[in-house]
A and B are shown apart, each in its own frame.
Chain A
């Protein structure tokens, strides 16, 4: 793992690697504060996609010709790249999927379908993104299993003092987010995995908001399963992965049937490949996987520790500046937060604020952020969210504050 100090990186030069950051929006220089929804892509990722289609494009694992060999090698090398990026023991522990949502659904449907019975418990938290909630609701409906939730405290952290009464032997899986996409809370993954293990529950980490932002080593964290999306970490859309410890993946039956995932097929019956290929029916997103590997290359060149430091600095600075504004309520923990800030202002509804900002070239997100139960928990219909990545600057945050001040004047 790279250990580059944030101060050693030329953050302004990095912006040059992202062609889209030169765009204008409504006649203003674009300020992109919506990276929690999807990040922008550096040139090397765009080049990797183009290079693949110009020099390697063919289907994988089936052709006997040169291009197919190149495509297969590039695709499997990408799997290796993801494995080493996450600290997985082998590349076989990496299943390519469309992203976090599909990874979680794979576990809920295929693992849940085999192992979950009525009265088993799936433990979640109140801060889960809908993609780590709805699949479990569907499983609970099908099997009669129960869902339990770790409550969220007013400061946006999990009420860990309640874990002993929630994390009981009936819990078969504890699925939780690493970083909350609305609150910015960073959950203590290793501690939660440890506690889950002590009652024999598996753990699934939703790393959508963390995988591109801080160093992650699945074996250090001690998680059994981990889901993420490439598009939030400089990669293309439509690609992501599920990490699963080898023995766990091997115990899960196939979920989608089709080509690529079989060893032999008769009209009556099929024999399936081992993990991860068993879970990759049909032609996969080959270009996406290659683009994801390029994104990992890019991130590792900067270094995840440096990125985390820079992100934390931006988020801290944003919180500090936002609280200068009148009628401002910032959600989530004061300290130790991920690269995003959700807030509400007395003078303007999140929708109005987001529209106003957009007209000034500032892209933020307004609404419930796929966190309806969490919004209800805080008595809100929604928030405005400014989310950052390493290509953002404090100067952009200053500009955001100016725009929000103008909004206060406009709406009050």
Chain B
């Protein structure tokens, strides 16, 4: 097995992809974001409920996708519960820099999400890792209602 593969698919990542945490529909979600990766057809449906001060009170997802996108979503939901919108956005930024290779040392605040650093050696897979995060970014911006996002930033809906 190549070291790149071992690094990309660490045991924790495979575990989250096989048994995603917080997988399911979120009853009385304030925001529901449908995320789409048109390049590969993967999708995520992310439900978020906000508590006091707009904190992420509960967060769940459904959808289908590769191990990277599923694990990233699963890890993200465990990490974001209870976070303030500002903290969540900071996490988004730091995670993005981690998987795109902007930062070398993985910040401690990411916890297990640091294990996703291996994605940086696979540029074609960055969008897989970012799908759930694009969805939460949108959820934080709208705080109520339903919407659709795509990993293709220049994607124009027909």
Partner of A355, one of B1, B41, B65, B125: B125
List chain A residues, Cβ under 8 A from B42: 351, 381
Given A351-B125, A359-B4, are A367 and B66 neighbors across the interface (CB < 8 Å)?
A: no
For residue A349, CB closer than 8 A to chain B, the reply is: yes
**Contact, CB under 8 Å: A351 / B68:** yes
Partner of A382, one of B5, B8, B40: B40
**Contact, CB under 8 Å: A351 / B14:** no
Q: A residues 326-382 with Cβ under 8 Å of B?
A: 348-352, 355-356, 359-360, 366-368, 372, 375, 380-382
For residue B39, CB closer than 8 A to chain A, the reply is: yes
For residue B43, CB closer than 8 A to chain A, the reply is: yes
Partner of B67, one of A26, A352, A366, A367: A352
Partner of B65, one of A367, A368, A381, A410: A381
Q: Mark B106-141, 1 if CB is under 8 A from A, else 0.
A: 000000000000000010110010000000000000
What total of A-B pairs shows CB separation below 8 Å? Answer: 54
**Contact, CB under 8 Å: A368 / B41:** yes
Given A351-B40, A368-B41, are A381 and B2 neighbors across the interface (CB < 8 Å)?
A: no
Interface residues on A, range: 20 to 34
For residue B93, CB closer than 8 A to chain A, the reply is: no
Interface residues on B, range: 20 to 34
**Contact, CB under 8 Å: A355 / B8:** yes
**Contact, CB under 8 Å: A382 / B68:** no
For residue B9, CB closer than 8 A to chain A, the reply is: yes
List chain A residues, Cβ under 8 A from B66: 349-352
For residue A164, CB closer than 8 A to chain B, the reply is: no
* B contacts with A: majority SS: mixed
List chain A residues, Cβ under 8 A from B125: 351, 355
Q: Mark B57-88, 1 if CB is under 8 A from A, else 0.
A: 00000001111100000000000000000000
Nearest CB of A to B26, in Å: 23
Could you write out 18 A-B pairs with CB less than 8 Å apart? Answer: A348-B67, A349-B65, A352-B66, A352-B67, A355-B122, A355-B124, A359-B5, A360-B2, A366-B40, A367-B39, A368-B40, A368-B41, A380-B41, A381-B40, A381-B64, A382-B40, A411-B9, A411-B14
Instruction: State the A residues within 8 Å of B (CB).
Output: 26-27, 348-352, 355-356, 359-360, 366-368, 372, 375, 380-382, 410-411
Known: A351-B65, A359-B4, A367-B41. 7 other contacts (CB 8 A): A349-B65, A351-B42, A352-B9, A355-B5, A368-B40, A368-B41, A382-B40
Q: Which 8 A-B pairs have the closest CB atoms?
A: A381-B41, A349-B66, A351-B66, A359-B2, A352-B67, A359-B5, A352-B66, A367-B40
Instruction: State the B residues within 8 Å of A (CB).
Output: 1-2, 4-5, 8-9, 14, 38-43, 64-68, 122, 124-125, 128
